[in-house]
Amino acid sequence: MVLDGPPPDDGSDDDRRDRSDDNRRDRSDDDRRDRSEDNRSDESEDNRRDDSEPTTDRIPRYTDDSLSGEVYDVDDVDYTAIVSNQAGVGFDRVDLITTREPSQLARHYLFPTEKFRGEWRRHWIHLASRLTVGVVATFVLGYLSGYFARAQQPTALTILIVIWLVVMSWVLWDVAQWYFDRFLLTNKRVMLIEGIVARKVAMMPLNRVTDMKYTQSPLGRVLGYGTFELESAGQEQALRTIKNLPHPSDLYLQVVEEMYEPEASEARRRPAEVDGT
């Protein structure tokens, strides 16, 4: 007698499912091992490529906040000067020099293709002798005027007042001349502008300067001023000695750099910021 119905369960289906799960796990492990080996191979190849490639210099970065957000175009000469640090004369890094616009007084003596580098007044020590005379005259004449006022001598008192006004006018005139006198530096020459009513302008082309020096007395080293002397071979000079210039060391470096490394000097310069006030 034959009975219809499903065959008895003998566990063969469970064995097949277990074998299928084991095969999937084995394939997954194999895939992970293959990916890991591929990654290690890629990293090794990248390292070999980095070692074989030549190193290149990085473009220098400036930490000056005033340059943030600004883009400056430089040519090959300027970039070479910056990278080689030729622009850093006297400094450990490349320093940018702020170039301000020339004053109206200086503009009258600059030709259009000339590049303005700076202008300076003489150090205040230039006025020391005049101011000393004015102070001493004020005390002495003040004392004498008090004496003549008590002695009731109006004529002598009037004469003292006139003398004091003359002395002070002489002092103020020298102060005004000091204010308008300027030492100018361009990429072509140095100039000294003197005088208010009578004007004197002396200049020396940089390519004709054969020797230049500056001297500082002990007081000059303390207060920061010195005397410049320019030499030109075999010629009578309109500009030879400039006394009482401020910061002579820095000024000397700027002039020498303009004479011997004009490309580096140009590379270090940037326009000055204009105040909004």
Statement to judge: residues 104 and 217 lie in one domain? yes
Mean pLDDT over 236-260 rounds to 88
Statement to judge: residues 245 and 168 lie in one domain? no
With respect to residue 261, please indicate whether it lies within any of the assigned structural domains.
yes
With respect to residue 78, please indicate whether it lies within any of the assigned structural domains.
no
Supply the pLDDT for residue 211: 86
Per-residue confidence band for 43, with pLDDT thresholds at 50, 70 and 90: low
With respect to residue 19, please indicate whether it lies within any of the assigned structural domains.
no
Range of the domain at 149: 127-177
pLDDT one-digit tens code per residue, 135-153: 999 999 989 988 888 888 8
Distances (CA, A) of 90 to 95, 145, 206, 222, 254: 10, 56, 20, 21, 10
Statement to judge: residues 157 and 264 lie in one domain? no
Statement to judge: residues 260 and 160 lie in one domain? no
The percent helix, strand, coil of the chain (3-state, each to 5) is 50, 15, 35
Give the helix ranges, DSSP H, for 151-273: 154-180, 218-223, 248-260, 262-267
pLDDT one-digit tens code per residue, 183-215: 999 999 999 999 999 999 998 999 888 888 899
Supply the pLDDT for residue 104: 87
Per-residue confidence band for 274, with pLDDT thresholds at 50, 70 and 90: very low
Supply the pLDDT for residue 7: 52
Supply the pLDDT for residue 271: 54
Per-residue confidence band for 30, with pLDDT thresholds at 50, 70 and 90: low
Mean pLDDT over 268-277 rounds to 53
**Residue of 127, 137, 242, 122 whose CA lies nearest to 175:** 127
Mean pLDDT over 47-58 rounds to 51
With respect to residue 263, please indicate whether it lies within any of the assigned structural domains.
yes
Supply the pLDDT for residue 91: 37
Supply the pLDDT for residue 41: 64
Strand 97-99 relative to strand 269-271, pairing: parallel
* Domain total in the chain: 2
Residue where a domain terminates, one of 177, 199, 219 = 177
Statement to judge: residues 215 and 144 lie in one domain? no
Statement to judge: residues 207 and 151 lie in one domain? no
3-class DSSP string for 3-49 = CCCCCCCCCHHHHHHHHHHHHHHHHHHHHHHHHHHHHHHHHHHHHHH
With respect to residue 135, please indicate whether it lies within any of the assigned structural domains.
yes
Report how far Cα 205 is from the mean position of its chain's Cα atoms.
24
Residue where a domain terminates, one of 142, 177, 212 = 177
Residue where a domain terminates, one of 136, 161, 177 = 177
Statement to judge: residues 253 and 143 lie in one domain? no
Statement to judge: residues 142 and 265 lie in one domain? no
**pLDDT value at 168 more than 90:** yes
Helix axes 128-150, 154-180, angle to 10 degrees: 170
**pLDDT value at 54 more than 50:** no
Supply the pLDDT for residue 20: 64
d(CA 161, CA 166): 9
The answer to whether the beta carbons of residues 76 and 150 sit under 8 Å apart is: no
Statement to judge: residues 226 and 108 lie in one domain? yes
Statement to judge: residues 248 and 131 lie in one domain? no
Per-residue confidence band for 226, with pLDDT thresholds at 50, 70 and 90: very high
Per-residue confidence band for 174, with pLDDT thresholds at 50, 70 and 90: very high
Statement to judge: residues 138 and 250 lie in one domain? no
Supply the pLDDT for residue 36: 67
The answer to whether the beta carbons of residues 86 and 264 sit under 8 Å apart is: yes
Statement to judge: residues 139 and 212 lie in one domain? no
CATH code of residue 229: 2.30.29.50
With respect to residue 208, please indicate whether it lies within any of the assigned structural domains.
yes
With respect to residue 29, please indicate whether it lies within any of the assigned structural domains.
no
pLDDT one-digit tens code per residue, 75-108: 555 555 444 444 444 433 334 455 578 888 888 8
pLDDT-wise least confident of 74-78, 220-224, 234-238: 74-78
d(CA 70, CA 206): 33
